[in-house]
Every structure is written in structure tokens, then in C-alpha cells.
Amino acid sequence: MQAPASLSSELKSVAAEQGFAALGIAPAVTPTGFHQLLQWLQQGYQGEMSWMQSRAELRRHPESLLSGCRSVLMAAVNYSDGAELCGGPRISRYAWGSEDYHTVLKRRLAPVAAHLRTALPSCRTRVVVDSAPLLERDFGRLAGLGWFGRNTMLISRGFGSWFFLAAVLTDAELVCDEAEERNYCGTCTRCLDECPTDAFPEAGVLDARRCISYLTIELRDRSVPRELREGIGGWLFGCDVCQEVCPWNRFAPLECLPEFTGRRWNVSAERVPVEILRMTATDFQQVFGGTALERTGRDVMRRNAAIVLGNLRQLEGDAELLVALRDDSPLVRSAAGWALCRRGGAVGLAAVREQLEREPSAEVAVDLRLSLSERGES
């Protein structure tokens, strides 16, 4: 038996009280995006994210997460406060907060699930975020929250694309919202045109292997491909370019939950790469522990910092790069050598040549040799 429409309204009110911009309800089905996901995986666009392939079948239907699932409540919450950063070192807006968004979303969505169980004591619920194998953007569209932009993001006419998605799965049959069937991008292709690394082989398809977010967050076991390092620019963690250029984000709210605005680290943007390179394991945990930035690990963040210093050569950082050139991590050594060669100082070039003579990793040695060669050094 379907629950009364009034319950759906009550759930939306509870979500609003918890700070969510919108809550829509979709039927638990196999979304069309599942078959598109399989095609995407066949193209190898997932790169080294092997978990996407191994867990693909779990995304076929929400029943894999909650047996008997009949309804999916999709909640959206804004994460951008509208603040603008300089053109220097940057971190994706979703990671600015003092607390990991996964924790925040689960905590704030729990009262919605609790209200549903109170109204329907026999029903079961499960709160999930993007760490669960759910095609949340597909269900966001089915719940009427928005449409897919050419950059693959879910876009809302009311609040753009600066929002997180989270879901409550339930075996209760709820009154659902109408799916968003229209696309309001028109002829705009700004997101495709402005991508620094040409990560979109076609509209609506992302080659993660070229995406800056993938390169700075998900690619953890090897160096960033040389041909993509310059395109990373000042991005230390993630990338927002395809959202920043989207006209619909002019309508995004200029406020967000306090958990997404707090900062733990009072360091000027220009100093961030240097301070990251200096971090001990303890420092890294104290600053980034419990935040979205913790996910990459210290070595990957320091690799990213070195690449940024190689791109933003006006920033201080030579001394830190010289130390990083002798780091225990091959990822850090490769990136530091590349950055020093890009910066071009005599001391830095000499240090790279010296490191090449004693470099224990054949892979790093090849990278250092190429970096020197690009500077006309042997």
C-alpha cells in the first residue's frame, strides 16, 4: 500500500529543517544510467578506479543496498558559500569544510529516516552517501532535482550544481516526484570548452583519466602523466572549472551549512603548497584528519603540491622542493624533480642531475631524465 502524499510533504519539511536545499522522491528502479555506466567502463574511462568495475553490478538496483527497496529519497545540500579564491593554489570547494561531508550528510539525513520509521513503524530505511554503490545522480534526476549537464553534473534551475547528494532508501512505497525530463543547457558548451585537460571526449562523457579531480585524488599509486601536469595548474585537490563556468551556478545560494565553511588551517593560499610539502605524517593528520582531504594521503598531497609549484613558478618553494627531491616517496621525488626543472634555477637543476645519479627507482630516473631534457639539460 502506498503511503499518503502528506507523508512525502512531511519528509521534505524535515529535510529542510536539517539544511537541505531540496528533497525529492524516486521509485526504486534500474536507472538508464546503469547501462551507460557499463559502456563507460568498457571504454576504460574509470582509469585505476578498479572498485568501479568490481562493484558495478551493485549499482543495477537499490535492492543491492536494501532488500525490498521500493523508494529512494534524494536530498541535495549546497556546499558553496560563494567565496572566490585567487588564481593561485586551489582546493575544490566541496573539500573546504572542517568536517568530511560524508559524516555531515549522514548525520543530517538521519532525522528524515527516523521520521519515516515513526510514521511507518514496519518500514526499513538506510541512509547512504556517495561512498555507497548507488547511481545517486540518476536518482536525483528521477526525483526531479535536476538534469544532467554536458559536464555530467546534475544541475538544478534553483541552485545550480554546487550541491552534495545523499539518499534514504526504504522498502516503503512513497508518493514520488516527477522526473526531470528536460535539459536546460541549450547550446552552451562552456564546461567542455574550458576543461584544462580536455577530459570530455564528448558531451556527457567524462574520461576520468584526464580529469584533474581524478589525477589529484584518485590516482595514488603512480605519477601524474607528464602531458597532463601543466594542465593541473594550481589545483592541489580536485577541480571546479566545469562548474565555475556554468551559467546556472549564478543562481546557486551564497550560503551553506556551517560544517562546510569552517577552516582548520589559517594559511594564505600562496603558502599552502609549501606548507603541505613540509608536513610530517603527524602534521598531515592534525590538519586534514576527518576531512575530505584526508582521503588522498600525505604522499599524494605532497606530489600534488610539487606539481602546483612547478606550474605556479612565481611562488616560493625552491627550498622545499630541494628537500622533496630526496623524499622517501617516489611520487614526491618525481614531481619535485619536474617542478625544479620547470622553475629552472641553477641550484635546482644541479640538484636534479645529482639525484638522477643516485636515484634507486628506474621509473623516477626516467622521469627526472625527461624533465632535464625538456630544459635542454643532459
Q: Which of 290, 240, 300 is nearest to 102 (CA)?
A: 290
Residue type, 161: S
Is residue 120 within 8 Å of residue 3, measured between CB atoms? yes
Residue with cell 516526484: 177
End-to-end CA, the chain: 76
Could you give the 3-state DSSP secondary structure of residue 245? coil
- β-strand pairing of 71-78 with 90-91: unpaired
**Which secondary-structure segment (H or E) carries 321?**
helix 318-324
Cα(49)–Cα(257) distance, integer angstroms: 30
Whether the Cβ atoms of residue 76 and residue 164 lie closer than 8 Å to each other: yes
Q: Is 130 a catalytic residue?
A: yes
Give the integer Cα–Cα distance in Å for 209 and 352.
28
Q: Sign of the CA dihedral 38, 41, 42, 45?
A: positive
Neighbour count for residue 357 (Cβ, 10 Å): 8
Backbone φ and ψ for 253, nearest 5 degrees, come out as -60, 150
- Distance, in Å, from the CA atom of 232 to the CA atom of 245, rounded to the nearest integer, reads 17
Give the strand pairing for 90-91 and 235-237: parallel
Question: Which listed residue (130, 240, 299, 328) is catalytic?
Answer: 130
Catalytic residues: 130
